[in-house]
Amino acid sequence: MKTKLFFVCFMCILWKPTFSINEQEVGIPIKYISGFEIDLDSNGEYDTIVLIERSDGQELIVLMKKENKYIAHILAKGLRNELLATRWGNKEIIKSISGTEYCINGPYIMLKHPEGPAVIYFWDERIFQEVWISK
């Protein structure tokens, strides 16, 4: 009896399954980092902002709510170690790294890198504008 039990245990250790699990079949986990709900386009409905960690870096996604539907905007991909924040500009003048000035009157998104410039995104009635700024 001990010999049969030993043989079965030994075979279980050596046995390799004949199937393989493909990452495409089961998926690769993502990590939620941060997110906010804020009305970015002033239509009276909260939009959703999420910063996630994927296998190829961080990704900033905005889900704009329009007429009970969401429209996805991928604002940035392949980021590393970014910090997400939202701000409210009250006719705030923002100066880009290139020297262009923007007057922001409403909400905007800010991605800050701990050791470098920041980038802001704001909705200008039809698309998101991306502006690189120094902190």
pLDDT in tens, 51-72: 999 989 999 999 999 998 999 9
Q: What is the DSSP letter of 114?
A: T
Length of the chain: 135
What average pLDDT does the segment 109-119 reach? Answer: 91
Is the distance from CB of 62 to CB of 109 less than 8 angstroms? yes
pLDDT of 19 reads 47
Reported as a pLDDT band with limits 50, 70 and 90, residue 35 is very high
User: What distances in angstroms separate CA 80 from CA 10, 36, 50, 59, 111, one per listed residue?
Assistant: 46, 19, 15, 9, 11
pLDDT digits (tens, 9 = 90+) for 94-111: 999 999 999 999 999 999
pLDDT of 23 reads 56
Q: Give the separation between CA 30 and CA 11, rounded to whole angstroms.
A: 36
Whole-structure pTM value: 0.77
Query: Nearest 5°: CA angle at 96, between 84 and 86?
Result: 25
Please give the share of the chain, as a percent, with pLDDT higher than 70. Answer: 81
Q: Which two tokens stand for residue 110?
A: 């800010």
pLDDT of 89 reads 93
Q: Give the separation between CA 40 and CA 50, rounded to whole angstroms.
A: 13
Mean pLDDT of the chain: 85
The residue extents of the domains of the chain are: 26-133
Q: Which two tokens stand for residue 119?
A: 């980038």
Is the distance from CB of 118 to CB of 98 less than 8 angstroms? no
Closest CA to 67 of 89, 45, 85: 45
What is the chain's Cα-based Rg? 24
Reported as a pLDDT band with limits 50, 70 and 90, residue 10 is very low
